[in-house]
Amino acid sequence: MKEFFEGIGKIAYEGPKSTNPLAFRYYNPDEIIGGKKMREQLKFALSYWHTMCGDGTDMFGRGTFVKTFGESEPMEVYKAKAYAAFELMDKLSVDYYCFHDRDIAPEAETLSESNSRLDEISDLLSDLMKKYDKKLLWGTANCFNHPRYMHGAGTAPNADVFAFAAAQIKKAIELTVKLGGKGYVFWGGREGYETLLNTDMGLELDNMARLMKMAVEYARSIGFDGDFYVEPKPKEPTKHQYDFDSATVIGFLRKNGLDKDFKLNIEANHATLAGHTFQHELRVARTEGMFGSIDANQGDMLIGWDTDQFPTNIYDTALCMYEVIKSGGFTNGGLNFDAKTRRGSFTPEDIVYAYIAGMDAFALGLRVAEKLIADGRIDSFVSDRYSSWNSGIGADIISGKAKMAELEKYALEKGEVAASCKSGRQEYLENVMNSIMFSL
Ligand code: XLS
Ligand code: CA
Ligand code: CA
């Protein structure tokens, strides 16, 4: 069989001292960390769009990376992408993948021809999944690339466009079920606005909810028992995306009675675009019982774009894995590398180096997070900081026994309470974090 990533064997774990660029230093798939194998704790997934399709095109220049995998006929190119994807997952020990409908098969002139292309390629994917023992993490529909979606899909001002998007999503859900995926993502590609001067925001948001309800109803009717996800993002491509951040999305889902079927798929770079840390977005989701899955990547501090870089910042990966562990770990979700190599990193080896970097960064993050929790200093500091809620007036507030009048009486009797305040010890805690990170 043709080899696409030539000269690259299976990437092995060689430990932190290894200088072999084609080895893992921290990711040891079958090692038990925190009671589970690393591969089960991390559930790494390959993003089909960036890895198999993205060619480095940006708004200033054409592609630099040829991703036709030696073929020229459109369907042959997409079959070659499938073979190359599974070869790569096998070599990297990545157990899952994620796709949009249009990543796996090229869109044709008609919807019905596009659908039969999807049937053909999904048969091939199904065979390859069995051969390589790989799973689909989630599927989705690309309802943002084609010109018909210039004003949005579920929030389009035109009902025909809404209907077309629904048809595309129906098929993408069928493919997800066919391939055993346990997740289905709604990322609001162009579900937002450029100016309120031409926008009926109320109708657009209600229509988005209508589309999601129809999707849930249909998916459940054909046996989908996984989770739906909304992936928050504040802007890009539209100036304002409706699914702005975790808090906004949770409010929308609850208002529309969708919170039982949906969770959040949180992307690091989208968090930073919203002016939040990655950990903030994860913490909001965890606190609200809505944590689902992760799109792992990072942005650039100096570029305000969705740069989708492979994640290498260990503070971020450690605090992310801390939130994942505190959420009880992944169930249906996982860690999808929604990341691409830089435009100047255009060779097949660059893809392998990039995944190794991202996987090692998260493996190290997992190791640090487990140490943070086992060390206990940070968790016990936090519980001590809130200890006044465990008894006395704090417990009475929580139980509902103390109301405004009782609290006034308490405050009058107590007098000034500034002396009850304790230091937040931020710098001490940051140093605890450093000492744990660098004692590995
Ligand atoms: C784009 C999004 C997209 C979703 C899936 O910014 O990250 O790739 O993850 O549609
Ligand atoms: Ca994403
Ligand atoms: Ca992104």
pLDDT digits (tens, 9 = 90+) for 183-222: 999 999 999 999 999 999 999 999 999 999 999 999 999 9
- Determine the Cα–Cα distance for residues 146 and 394; give it in Å rounded to an integer: 56
In the reported structure, the alpha carbon of residue 79 is separated from the centroid of ligand 3 by a whole-number distance in angstroms of 26
Task: Tell whether pTM > 0.75.
Answer: yes
Question: Residue 356's closest CA among 311, 398, 419?
Answer: 311
Cβ 155 vs Cβ 242: under 8 Å: yes
Counting from 1 in the atom list of ligand 1, the atom nearest the Cα of 100 is 10
In the reported structure, the alpha carbon of residue 230 is separated from the centroid of ligand 1 by a whole-number distance in angstroms of 10
Q: How many other CB atoms sit within 10 Å of the CB of residue 28?
A: 19
The protein residue whose alpha carbon is closest to atom 7 in ligand 1 is 338
Q: Which residue among 231, 241, 244, 305 has the greatest number of ligand 1 atoms within 8 angstroms of its CB, and so is best to mutate?
A: 231
pLDDT for 107-118, tens place per residue? 999 999 999 999
- Determine the Cα–Cα distance for residues 6 and 28; give it in Å rounded to an integer: 23
What's the start-to-end Cα distance of the chain, in Å? 42
pLDDT for 136-194, tens place per residue? 999 999 999 999 999 999 999 999 999 999 999 999 999 999 999 999 999 999 999 99
What ligand is nearest to the CA atom of residue 140?
1
The protein residue whose alpha carbon is closest to atom 8 in ligand 1 is 338
Counting from 1 in the atom list of ligand 1, the atom nearest the Cα of 306 is 6
Whether residue 312 has pLDDT greater than 80: yes
The protein residue whose alpha carbon is closest to atom 4 in ligand 1 is 187
Question: Residue 52's closest CA among 75, 86, 22, 93?
Answer: 86
Give the pocket of ligand 1 (CB within 6 Å): 100, 140, 185, 187, 231, 233, 267, 295, 306, 338
Whether residue 332 has pLDDT greater than 70: yes
Residues 290-305 have a mean pLDDT of: 96
* Encoded tokens for 50: 């960036």
Residues 1-26 have a mean pLDDT of: 97
pLDDT for 57-96, tens place per residue? 999 999 999 999 999 999 999 999 999 999 999 999 999 9
* Catalytic residue positions, numbered: 100, 103
The protein residue whose alpha carbon is closest to atom 5 in ligand 1 is 187
Q: Strands 183-187, 227-231: parallel, antiparallel or unpaired by DSSP?
A: parallel
In the reported structure, the alpha carbon of residue 61 is separated from the centroid of ligand 2 by a whole-number distance in angstroms of 22
What ligand is nearest to the CA atom of residue 308?
3
Residue 79 vs residues 67, 83, 175, 181, 210: alpha-carbon distances, Å: 12, 6, 16, 20, 35
What ligand is nearest to the CA atom of residue 337?
2
Question: Residue 25's closest CA among 35, 11, 36?
Answer: 11
In the reported structure, the alpha carbon of residue 307 is separated from the centroid of ligand 3 by a whole-number distance in angstroms of 7
The protein residue whose alpha carbon is closest to atom 3 in ligand 1 is 187
Residues 312-333 have a mean pLDDT of: 98
Question: What pLDDT shows up at residue 440?
Answer: 55
- Determine the Cα–Cα distance for residues 74 and 53; give it in Å rounded to an integer: 12
Q: Which residue among 104, 145, 233, 340 has the greatest number of ligand 1 atoms within 8 angstroms of its CB, and so is best to mutate?
A: 233
In the reported structure, the alpha carbon of residue 428 is separated from the centroid of ligand 3 by a whole-number distance in angstroms of 34
* Encoded tokens for 340: 């691409």
- The whole-chain average pLDDT of the chain stands at 98
Counting from 1 in the atom list of ligand 1, the atom nearest the Cα of 144 is 10
Cβ 249 vs Cβ 271: under 8 Å: no
Residues 389-414 have a mean pLDDT of: 98
Whether residue 237 has pLDDT greater than 80: yes
In the reported structure, the alpha carbon of residue 407 is separated from the centroid of ligand 2 by a whole-number distance in angstroms of 47
Q: Strands 32-33, 23-24: parallel, antiparallel or unpaired by DSSP?
A: unpaired
What ligand is nearest to the CA atom of residue 273?
3
Question: What pLDDT shows up at residue 439?
Answer: 82
In the reported structure, the alpha carbon of residue 267 is separated from the centroid of ligand 2 by a whole-number distance in angstroms of 6
The protein residue whose alpha carbon is closest to atom 10 in ligand 1 is 187
In the reported structure, the alpha carbon of residue 263 is separated from the centroid of ligand 2 by a whole-number distance in angstroms of 14
pLDDT for 417-434, tens place per residue? 999 999 999 999 999 999
Q: Which residue among 142, 236, 265, 267 has the greatest number of ligand 1 atoms within 8 angstroms of its CB, and so is best to mutate?
A: 267
What ligand is nearest to the CA atom of residue 191?
1
Question: What pLDDT shows up at residue 43?
Answer: 98
The protein residue whose alpha carbon is closest to atom 2 in ligand 1 is 187
